[in-house]
Amino acid sequence: MGTTKSQDKTNHLKTLGQGGQTEYQLEGPHSGILETFPNNFPGRPYIVNVEFPEYTSLCPMTGQPDFGTIIMEYVPDQRIVESKSFKLYMFAYRNHQSFMETIANTMLDDFVKALDPLWCRVKGLFSPRGATTLHVFAEHFKVDAPNIAEVRSVVSEWKRENNRHGA
């Protein structure tokens, strides 16, 4: 029995490299690390949920490590994020110093820049430090999308069904 190949267009992807070699960009987080490929179902609002439970960065005041889970949820328009590039983007935060609120909002800005999604939410579920747990949620809707009412309905239902961590 032979192998089959989907209709996904992947020729332009660079992160995975040739022969499986990974191209690491360690100069810090930026939207250019995120690679995308075409959405084969642009007229259908559906949710993509990507979780990264091994997130680390550094406190800008103490230099101490912060840990957490980053969850990116989005309704794609024309582009989908390539998952390995998402992982490398998260790795780029390891030596980055920033407050958690800034991190979640910067990630949202980078995802919106790379994907131009119909909707996107970043959930930063940070591990307790000093007996205090901090969760940061940042959200974006593409308000000029022609099917924004349908997108909002899909997102609302998703939130109802997946109400983890209070949002």
Which residue numbers are catalytic? 59, 66
82 is an annotated ligand-binding site residue: yes
101 is an annotated ligand-binding site residue: yes
51 is an annotated ligand-binding site residue: no
CA distance 33 to 56: 17
Alpha helices, H only, 44-166: 83-91, 100-115, 148-161
81 is an annotated ligand-binding site residue: yes
CA distance 54 to 49: 16
Q: 139: exposed, middle or buried (C-beta count within 10 Å: 0-12, 13-18, 19+)?
A: middle
Q: What sign has the CA pseudo-torsion 58, 59, 64, 68?
A: negative
Q: Provide long-range contacts, Cβ within 8 A and 24+ apart, for 146-149.
A: 147/43, 147/45, 147/118, 148/118
CA distance 51 to 30: 18
72 is an annotated ligand-binding site residue: no
Q: Are 123 and 135 in contact (CB under 8 A)?
A: yes
Q: Which residues are annotated as a binding site for substrate?
A: 81-83, 100-101
Q: Which residues are annotated as a binding site?
A: 81-83, 100-101
